[in-house]
Structure 1
């Protein structure tokens, strides 16, 4: 039956019910028209599903900054297909991804969750991601529309941005994914030029739907819809979560009172049903429908619709290696040759930081740490030392645990296994738990200490907690939230610590009980039992690491940010590595000139020790296969294929666009078009590494360039002794440039492969938009002479030719 006929079968109450979340993650079923529940899930590196719990594990791909560092649209599309496969395995119809906001400032807390500082690169990779997911019959909702490029006061902040910058920079990636056929879009929390985005008729209805021809569904960010008639008239189609909120009965009343036209509601319903048909949630849909359960989440073993099964573990490892970006390699230290011993140093070497915090978090069934990856080779002695521990919060125990759901009498309603001591159910409880009877959740585990002495335990969460060790109560109190952002309190909660003296090899029973329930049909359970072994202190740990490094052929220091530095809910306060890691690296380099620093961060950090070390390898947040991919790259089984998708500063004070702190409730994007490398070039400042930079394990010559119309052909040769990949970048500059415009812009790119001595040719077409500017009359193509430059980064341009338009 066609969609118009289905709409005609619904009364106003049913129509409105369809537009509001039935719960945290779904829209309601309407059996009378054959509509099943429409389930959504957070992304973008995995598919969490309706349970935010290790009991329902997911593939964890590398972070979006890592995906962007590949500059490989085919690989990103394949990652999208894997995510569709995962979504179908978990019964998910719509993935709440990708994030298309820009790296306006390196202080942005969700920098790791966005692709790039460049709108063109962001748009091309975002389009590939959308196409890959949707080829698998799963919808996407590119987010956060628009100008949600920082976290501070994100619920209330007004972003003041000029029309030219809005069109040419911040809207550009969203326009590209609409061209790619995105089935959804997520409206942001913030306001733009005085109007909150969920009510922004000019951007959501006039531009997105009318001008761009977007036929998909606009979903609010969670709790972003705060009004009834204004959001309905402003272009929003779905208010999440539900069922409480500003729509429901309130929207029905607004229609009956004439404040919202029923034609508006019909259009909203039309868009939701169109989405449902596309993802197979209508009974007569040709789509894939719900997927069967998969036997192994580590392999992503349910094929995407019409496709071949994708090995999720293998793809996660491949993407990680392709994203690793070699920033420095003095004397060709990497790849490592015949080395007998490696000193592997850093807390993140043993407990890998594989993803950023917030809605991007999933629970993989396995995580391969750098220590496991290097020791897995078997032909090299790996000596590990922590050196220093920069973490502010204690990590959860990685011991198997049980979650008990208890009623008011203490009777167990249900019991579920956990991979560690982290409890998290957001929106939905396990299906065998009666929310009406639930009174508390308790985590229980048995821990066997590996060392004697004072062990630290912690409880992180908000509310009342009782912690017991071998039946003795060691904490019984209430932890209160800090700050005004409820998401930050949830994603980065306060912590209380307890010290207990334990003996090596003697097991202890641990338990944490927390009052819990479901409110308005939704559950919010989130707390962690953390742990740290006895420590002699940083001074002793650094001295130990220096000693280990001095006696090894090569020292590899894994330096990382922490969950308190990069996460949803707050912005960064600085770019320095947390703790004493800079000191650790400098001291290790002082005793071993063959020191490699592995930077395990999703966004830029300062590197004051840069000139002291032989090599720097940026691994971003590398996903679940971190350690194996690192071993592949360090020892040359794979080449580090990454190129920087964002400019990397020497010092925070050098960054030309930095501010993310509202003043008077506003952040002014006064820099206009000049963010990223455009701003660096205008400021005349030299960063540590320019946009597009990245070394490989071979060398390249750029031989010839030819132009026919707006088609550019470049020949490059692999002049090294091993096969390699090169990212050929094309930058366009107007010969007679308006001084108020950037010096150049990325206009095209291509990834090529070549064997030793082999020459390859790449041909790209420069898009029309590369020659256009936004004016008061709309888009205008600027004719004249342009210089197109091909090279290895925005600052390493090897060939040039003239394009005349």
Structure 2
């Protein structure tokens, strides 16, 4: 038997401090009493959980109530839940019909909220009963039934126990749209609304918008029979060349955590649909993603790569978390005890009775998340206790009472299923058809796995299905378990209504697409308009010299529209997130409405040129320039009054499956810009791309707009911005470097097949550039407007809660156009005994549309977490005594107001380990040496285990098989690119690529599809042939092939008979 090459065992998790405090609304999930949806209008002032800031407008318009999107299935006057059990996968095994309450009844219910204790008791009782029921079911299951429960049925369903009436659950990809395959075909899907990709949506800096997008996604899930949506993607953007960066939100964990949290709460606002935050953790590259071991020191992991997930898990409470493919500090994420059992479950309380925290009121969660000084972000005193001197992190973890939240694998991410069960990985996807059953049974027999550990996974899955089965509408007072307000009341809804009204007031009557007061309007049309609103808010005005923008409508001036993206927009990324849109706007189809002259021949003033081929990605100017297309574009540009030039990254240049190799645009795109700006000074650049790009010609361009991947309505949104119907308010959620070599992490990205070292540590994004005082192309948070905003009257006062500050300011529109802006609050530690970045984003607020001379009062809350760092010696968050500067900014480089505060944390200083790992003299401009990185990693481990752990982690040689003439030992985790020295390895690669031909296609053509298939195949591990084969291949057969590839022919010959006679069918 050929064994798989294991990753080295990782470090034990740090023990936590005080346990989190329960929300007063109970801990049942993201659809519970504290409100994942719009809170009642009678609710108290918002906390940081609901909104980090309060905005008080001096002349507030009256919000217009709008009917929230709902499924046509929700039209009955009674609530009915019918569960259907089936031995085969059921797309959506129950029907939910929601009762309609009259406005008077709704008002009465809102005016008589039940006491928090009553709601808590009701949910606790319901949770207890569900727990008992699920345990009773699991207690009667045979072992084979348990094993089938912890593995998917196929690609898109899991669960289903016919004799107990437990149905199967359907899930679908969906970071920015519901991707429900037709009959399991991954290429053909049901049409759904394609919202702006996460890279664009994050630029809105608008939690309410994120919530509304999530709410619309949940409606479409119900329409398409999906119970669990696989999104949002919340990995941090470590490096701008990351292949899936377009699926992720930001380089900053605070912005990513808040936007992701509100997406989750929107999806789960009814309690009927769940969200799955992914990929935990450090899934920051596509190269070697199935097998690479990410080495990250403890402080960097807690402060950057885990912080967004922690916030989302605590406040958003997604129904599921998805583990990443890669390894983390020696263990695959799918079996990482530190990551899931110790951190997510025991410390954070994900999936336990302490979900969202334990013991206390709802206000406790506020101090916890944004910053109590307690361990791991736990609420309580700044010394890391619960306030009574006890260290809550040492509390015994209670697995007997848990909420139905599950941890699932990414598709094919499981390495060792036995270790995964021990670590708390509940569900393996897709279904492996018993591939791991023999190993699990063997572990149960020899005692290395306890059946109680398997039972806990089964119980959580049964509870999860019970939740999905449960009707959430409850007549009478208050809300039932998992139910959220959807009557259009509360702060989120009021802000959305105000924004809709403000934006609609800027749009001429002829371009309005109907109002929200049409309750019979098709939900797809409503969602298209929401996609339009999201795209408008997400567009970033990068540059605007001499007021080149906005353009004036219908002046009759000659407009040249150049670029293939104006005809066929680049509106979403490629890979598992790709959606079949319900409709698709294009600039070429819409431009006449904006630029036409108004006469019978009004189209004569608009000309179009292709400019480039859609799959053209070459960067060699000596051979990658199509002179014919270039000449055609130049010809129309020199005769035009204004030129709209649409350039960016073609689909072939960025996709799931491979990382970008550079930040350059294709040579043809650069040549177009250089040539056209020389002959037409009124050239406006419109960028479409999933991440930062180099713009060497930017100084010659008067105006540039970044649209990212703006979804199916992005074309109209772009024209609305260009022609001034909408004032752009987007702000960059990542830094644009001048050149790739300016990125500190570039020296260590993407590592090699064995490991990737995160040597740069905390020096990621603006934390690096601002600390190193390094010039950038566009800073984090940058975005221009057609008006001007003034920040004044900054005030800082200590709030009622301990170690919490309230920061206030007045924002005034001093220009002559209505517009919205973003207040960004950064905290800088002026003197520290450990290294601290120059500044870190700790609060933000989107200030909705202000009319000229209108002002708004904004209040931000900073709790002690905003001033803290993670101490690797104490294994908790601490705040140093000293002075901190609070900065109110328009971007990380544009500080408008500042105020110094003195923080008294009780005289606690950093541990020796914290100073050793990050000494105060650390210079982020210098490349981190191997010795310094090894020391930083060593300080991440408990003192008694450091030598052993470091030897295990760093002794593994990092050489590539390509750089050595010796034969590489093949094992289950070998990737196909390592197996090409064997005929069998080459044959397997050919088979895999052939099998993907019907599943990976591209609008850009065969070249793009071939590139994706080749990249996927080269990084594909051999174990994947078993996990994706639907039972067609087993591990005994794979091990026999591995013996052949390793040249162990005698052993392989002896194994022929058992393989041929049954190995194919037995694991």
1:357 aligned residue: 574
Residues 154-174 of structure 1 deviation map (CA, whole Å, 9 limit, x = unaligned): 011111110010111111011
1:44 aligned residue: 175
**Larger mean Cα displacement after TM superposition, 215-224 or 777-786:** 777-786
Mapped to 2, the partners of 1:574 and 1:690 lie a distance apart of 19
Spell out the pairing of 1:552-567 with structure 2 (5 A cutoff).
552-567=640-655
Report the secondary structure of 1:74's partner residue: helix
Spell out the pairing of 1:263-662 with structure 2 (5 A cutoff).
263-280=452-469, 311-338=526-553, 339-340=555-556, 341-377=558-594, 379-380=596-597, 381-389=605-613, 391-392=615-616, 538-658=626-746, 659-662=748-751
Report whether the alignment pairs 1:766 with 2:862: yes
Per the alignment, do residues 688 and 191 of structure 1 end up closer, same or farther by CA in structure 2, a change over 3 Å counting? same
CA contact (8 A) 1:600 1:620 kept: yes
Report whether the alignment pairs 1:791 with 2:927: no
CA contact (8 A) 1:648 1:691 kept: yes
2:830 aligned residue: 735
CA contact (8 A) 1:239 1:247 kept: no
CA contact (8 A) 1:730 1:791 kept: yes
Per the alignment, do residues 599 and 787 of structure 1 end up closer, same or farther by CA in structure 2, a change over 3 Å counting? same
Per the alignment, do residues 255 and 115 of structure 1 end up closer, same or farther by CA in structure 2, a change over 3 Å counting? same
Residues 104-141 of structure 1 deviation map (CA, whole Å, 9 limit, x = unaligned): 10010111111000011111111111111111421111
Mapped to 2, the partners of 1:201 and 1:235 lie a distance apart of 8
Q: CA deviation at 1:281?
A: 6.8
1:724 aligned residue: 819
Mapped to 1, the partners of 2:839 and 2:159 lie a distance apart of 49
Residues 190-243 of structure 1 deviation map (CA, whole Å, 9 limit, x = unaligned): 011111111101111111111110002110010111223111112211011014
Which of 787, 796, 800 is the matching residue for 2:898? 800
Mapped to 2, the partners of 1:42 and 1:281 lie a distance apart of 23
Mapped to 2, the partners of 1:310 and 1:774 lie a distance apart of 47
Report whether the alignment pairs 1:686 with 2:875: no
Q: CA deviation at 1:246?
A: 4.2
CA contact (8 A) 2:572 2:578 kept: yes
Report the secondary structure of 1:279's partner residue: helix
Q: CA deviation at 1:312?
A: 0.9
1:239 aligned residue: 428
Report the secondary structure of 1:637's partner residue: coil
Residues 539-583 of structure 1 deviation map (CA, whole Å, 9 limit, x = unaligned): 121111111111112101110212222111110000001241011
1:65 aligned residue: 199
Q: CA deviation at 1:591?
A: 1.0
Mapped to 2, the partners of 1:116 and 1:263 lie a distance apart of 40
Which of 121, 124, 128 is the matching residue for 2:255? 121
1:757 aligned residue: 853
Mapped to 2, the partners of 1:680 and 1:647 lie a distance apart of 9
Report whether the alignment pairs 1:745 with 2:840: yes
Residues 358-385 of structure 1 deviation map (CA, whole Å, 9 limit, x = unaligned): 1111111321112123234463543110
Mapped to 1, the partners of 2:545 and 2:718 lie a distance apart of 19
Report whether the alignment pairs 1:204 with 2:340: yes
CA contact (8 A) 2:257 2:308 kept: yes
| TM-score normalised per structure 1 | 0.78
Mapped to 1, the partners of 2:617 and 2:809 lie a distance apart of 51
2:413 aligned residue: 224
1:195 aligned residue: 331
2:296 aligned residue: 161
CA contact (8 A) 1:657 1:671 kept: yes
CA contact (8 A) 1:35 1:282 kept: no
Residues 235-265 of structure 1 deviation map (CA, whole Å, 9 limit, x = unaligned): 2110110142643454345334433211111
| TM-score normalised per structure 2 | 0.59
2:74 aligned residue: none
Mapped to 2, the partners of 1:774 and 1:537 lie a distance apart of 51
Per the alignment, do residues 656 and 697 of structure 1 end up closer, same or farther by CA in structure 2, a change over 3 Å counting? same
CA contact (8 A) 2:594 2:723 kept: no
CA contact (8 A) 1:13 1:252 kept: no
CA contact (8 A) 1:357 1:566 kept: yes
CA contact (8 A) 1:117 1:675 kept: yes
Mapped to 1, the partners of 2:318 and 2:344 lie a distance apart of 12
Mapped to 1, the partners of 2:313 and 2:350 lie a distance apart of 6
Q: CA deviation at 1:10?
A: 2.5
1:86 aligned residue: 220
Mapped to 1, the partners of 2:263 and 2:565 lie a distance apart of 29
1:448 aligned residue: none
Residues 724-774 of structure 1 deviation map (CA, whole Å, 9 limit, x = unaligned): 001000000112234621011001000113110111110010133212211
Which of 757, 778, 788 is the matching residue for 1:699? 788
Q: CA deviation at 1:682?
A: 2.7
Report whether the alignment pairs 1:214 with 2:312: no
**Larger mean Cα displacement after TM superposition, 780-789 or 584-593:** 780-789
Q: CA deviation at 1:4?
A: 2.6
Mapped to 2, the partners of 1:750 and 1:648 lie a distance apart of 22
Mapped to 1, the partners of 2:444 and 2:406 lie a distance apart of 20
Mapped to 1, the partners of 2:281 and 2:525 lie a distance apart of 33
Per the alignment, do residues 738 and 556 of structure 1 end up closer, same or farther by CA in structure 2, a change over 3 Å counting? farther
Per the alignment, do residues 715 and 365 of structure 1 end up closer, same or farther by CA in structure 2, a change over 3 Å counting? same
Q: CA deviation at 1:664?
A: 6.0
Report the secondary structure of 1:98's partner residue: coil
1:486 aligned residue: none
| Structure with the larger strand share | 1
Report the secondary structure of 1:254's partner residue: helix
2:365 aligned residue: none
Mapped to 1, the partners of 2:428 and 2:525 lie a distance apart of 34
Report whether the alignment pairs 1:101 with 2:235: yes
1:712 aligned residue: 807
CA contact (8 A) 1:225 1:239 kept: yes
Aligned pair count reads 651
Mapped to 2, the partners of 1:246 and 1:82 lie a distance apart of 38
Report the secondary structure of 2:796's partner residue: strand
Q: CA deviation at 1:21?
A: 0.6
CA contact (8 A) 2:595 2:606 kept: no
Q: CA deviation at 1:346?
A: 0.6
